Amino acid sequence: MQLLELAAQAVRGCSPSVRLALKPGYLVLKSPGDKPAPLASAIATVLYPDGRGDELQFLAQGYKGGKIGLSIQGNDSNAWRLVRDLGAGGSLHRYDKDSNQFEVAAQDLKQIAQLLRSTVGFPVRATFEQLFTLTPGQLPTQRAKLAAAPVAAPGAKTPPLKKGLSAVEVAAAKTRLQTLEAELAASKEVGDLQFRQDTTTNELYKMEQRLVAVEAVRQKRDEAREALANAPTAKALGLPDDIVERVRNFAATKKARDAAMMKLGDEREQAGVLFDADQVTPLYKERNFWLGLFGGLLLVALGGFMENALRYVALLGLPAFTYSALVALRNIERLQAASRVSSTSDVFRQREKKIVDEFKAEQELVNRAYELTATTTADEFKQAMAKPDELQQRMAELDVTWAEMEVDPDNAGLAEKVAALRTEAEALNGRLQELSGGYNRDAREIARDIERTRELIGLPSPSKEPEPAPEFEGVSAEPETFDDPTPALILLGAELFGTDVAGLWAQLKDRVGQYVGALTDRRYHAVDVEKDGRAFAVAPGRRVPFNELPAKELDLLYVAMRLTLVEKYSAKNKIVFLIEDVFGVVLDGPKLALLGRMLKHLGSLTQVLHITGASHTGASADATLNL
């Protein structure tokens, strides 16, 4: 289910009238001002009408009425259009393929809400607002804060826990005091080690990123060199140097062959040798020749045996011999004519053979070129033969990049630096585990216990040491505490996925760890969720409950869990994800770019609409639209 079109009139934070065609992917909707328009909240409100007029809060100042229209591609494969008047009624239309028009499906608000859930594919309101709509007000630090526990002011005396302690109780208190002081020393050491580990981890991450970049260039350079060595060239393929021109001109060569054959046919016609000469019967096969010859011989022989006047019968052989001579002369004439035709035809035949042989040789060369390059057309062959030049240019660019990396002093001995930092990080992590066993109390809390214990047994307080600096920048010395948002979030997710808390967390845990590590520079690398939904942030040597996290870290981990839930659910069912820009408060510039890439990946699974201020670049978005 995704939005196909958005139309808004007199909606707070938007232009007076706006109409946007929406497509799948990650879309950035830029508001006219620096503050993001409350459009995600407005869309969620109009999708779930309750008849109380909650939409009026999104009406732009100075306008008496406004509208929001949504075109929706439903899970039923139909197109729907919802039109809502802010603070008034509305209508839901369904596209009819037969009439090619939108027809009214419902005008009653309750019926509209029911159709949107049962047919179009929207989940229940709580699920959509808490899982598929992310607004600034949903961040844990923006919700109601827990009441802070009262803490004694510096220098104020804590009332004794018990009066009239016995010697045994005093000895136990002194023993506890020694234990607390040892714990305080260990806590301070853990704090120092933690700071060093965070610094080392951050530096290791940067070094690893640089090493990955260097290795990527090296690999691309090697691949380009290998591809260049295997690239097809005329010399390597055993083809003529002008093979590209010959392949490109092969169609013209074929036309020239056809024209030459046509011209040759015309010339044969003009020469009267369209066909080969008729076969001339040999003289010895001519029956009339032999009849005349043998007839004349017979008459001469008869005349020789006759007497007197009858001997003149022999003279009758002369006409017979003459007839045979004429038959022989005609046979000679036919032979001479056939010889002349055959001679002329041989000339034309040789010319035809030359034309055919030359074209056949050219055709065989072109077919061989196609076969050697696994191409079928002249354009494909030209592209294949152009690869060496492209690869040569690519190789030159990579050589320049590689030369710059080689002379960069920051890249000197990168592998050794990374190995050393990893060894140091592992050593620090081992020492942290040894000191704290995976958990470490805050030094301020231990100091307060020491002060109470000293006052309990009447020992004077030592000179006050300065309070340790907060672990993360921007956190006050006495940190605020917030509600853990995870139980409610996990319960909604479990209901959406149709499973229990343990089953849901088994699906989310690894991906949440990846998001958390990236967003917090690996200060935390995992999240643990217990059966009741309570969450703990896992860092080297520590396991911190969510409600004890610094404000910024809590918001980051909450965002990581929200993104993971949407990502995992979108692999099965697509529901549009609406975001009013909340990230500028909890993320700096580089992390905003990282988050943009995360949202772009999420946009490959479902539609993501990111409502931002006018200054947002939207560099990673598939499209940027102005509200």
Tokens of 171: 């000895």
Specify the pLDDT at position 243. 83
Residue 15 backbone phi and psi in degrees, to 5: -65, 160
Cβ neighbour number for residue 375 with a 10 Å cutoff? 18
The answer to which of 46-60, 186-200, 613-627 has the lowest mean pLDDT is 186-200
Under the banding of pLDDT at 50, 70 and 90, the label for residue 91 is confident
Task: Domains for the chain: give ranges and CATH numbers.
Answer: 1-122+575-627 (3.40.50.300), 201-440 (no CATH), 483-573 (3.40.50.300)
Q: In whole angstroms, give the CA distance from residue 553 to residue 139.
A: 11
Q: Per-residue pLDDT averaged across 433-462, rounded? A: 66
Specify the pLDDT at position 226. 83
Q: In whole angstroms, give the CA distance from residue 180 to residue 256.
A: 102
478 vs 232, which has greater pLDDT?
A: 232
Q: Which residues pair with 82 in a beta bridge?
A: 70, 92
- Percent of all residues in the chain with a pLDDT value above 70, rounded to a whole number: 84
CB neighbour list of residue 203: distance below 8 Å, 6 or more residues apart: 421
Cβ neighbour number for residue 526 with a 10 Å cutoff? 16
Q: In whole angstroms, give the CA distance from residue 600 to residue 425.
A: 32
106 Cα distance to chain centroid: 39
Specify the pLDDT at position 473. 43
Q: What is the tens place of the pLDDT at every residue in 383-396? A: 888 888 888 888 88
Residue 390 exposure: Cα atoms within 13 Å on the Cβ side: 9
Q: Cβ-count burial of 531 within 10 angstroms (0-12 exposed, 13-18 middle, 19+ buried)?
A: exposed
- Comparing CA positions, the residue from 140, 138, 120, 142 lying closest to residue 130 is 138
Helix (H, G, I), strand (E, B) or coil at 85: strand
Specify the pLDDT at position 144. 44
Specify the pLDDT at position 168. 56
Q: In whole angstroms, give the CA distance from residue 496 to residue 149.
A: 36
Amino acid letter, residue 381: F
User: H-type helices in 231-286, by residue range?
Assistant: 234-237, 243-248, 250-271
Q: In whole angstroms, give the CA distance from residue 603 to residue 310.
A: 128
Specify the pLDDT at position 475. 42
Query: What does pTM read for this prediction?
Result: 0.49
Residue 437 exposure: Cα atoms within 13 Å on the Cβ side: 2
The answer to which of 156-160, 204-208, 399-403, 523-527 has the lowest mean pLDDT is 156-160
Specify the pLDDT at position 225. 83
589-603 and 551-570 helices cross at what angle (nearest 10)? 20
Task: Check pLDDT > 60 for residue 438.
Answer: no
Q: What is the tens place of the pLDDT at every residue in 456-512? A: 666 666 654 444 444 444 444 445 667 788 888 888 888 888 888 888 888 888 888
Q: What is the tens place of the pLDDT at every residue in 547-594? A: 888 878 888 888 888 888 988 888 888 888 988 876 665 666 667 777
Task: Check pLDDT > 80 for residue 448.
Answer: no
Specify the pLDDT at position 158. 39
Specify the pLDDT at position 51. 67
Q: Per-residue pLDDT averaged across 222-230, rounded? A: 82
Q: What is the tens place of the pLDDT at every residue in 172-217? A: 667 777 777 777 777 777 767 777 767 777 777 777 887 888 888 8
Burial 278-293 (b: 16+ CB within 10 A, else e): eeeeeeeebeebeebb
H or E segment at 376? none
pLDDT averaged over every residue in the chain: 78
Q: Per-residue pLDDT averaged across 277-288, rounded? A: 72
Task: Check pLDDT > 60 for residue 320.
Answer: yes
Specify the pLDDT at position 280. 62
Specify the pLDDT at position 481. 66
Under the banding of pLDDT at 50, 70 and 90, the label for residue 442 is low
Task: Check pLDDT > 50 for residue 70.
Answer: yes
- Percent of all residues in the chain with a pLDDT value above 90, rounded to a whole number: 0
Helix (H, G, I), strand (E, B) or coil at 42: helix
Q: Per-residue pLDDT averaged across 591-618, rounded? A: 82
Q: What angle do CA 93, 96, 98 make, to 5 degrees?
A: 165
What is the DSSP annotation of 409-457? GGGTTHHHHHHHHHHHHHHHHHHHHHHHTT----HHHHHHHHHHHHHHH
Task: Check pLDDT > 80 for residue 148.
Answer: no
Helix (H, G, I), strand (E, B) or coil at 607: coil
Q: In whole angstroms, give the CA distance from residue 542 to residue 524.
A: 9
Q: What is the tens place of the pLDDT at every residue in 563-574? A: 889 888 888 888
Q: In whole angstroms, give the CA distance from residue 75 to residue 121.
A: 5
Specify the pLDDT at position 171. 67
Q: Cβ-count burial of 539 within 10 angstroms (0-12 exposed, 13-18 middle, 19+ buried)?
A: buried
Burial 21-42 (b: 16+ CB within 10 A, else e): ebebbbbbbbbeeeebbbbbbb
Q: In whole angstroms, give the CA distance from residue 202 to residue 170.
A: 47
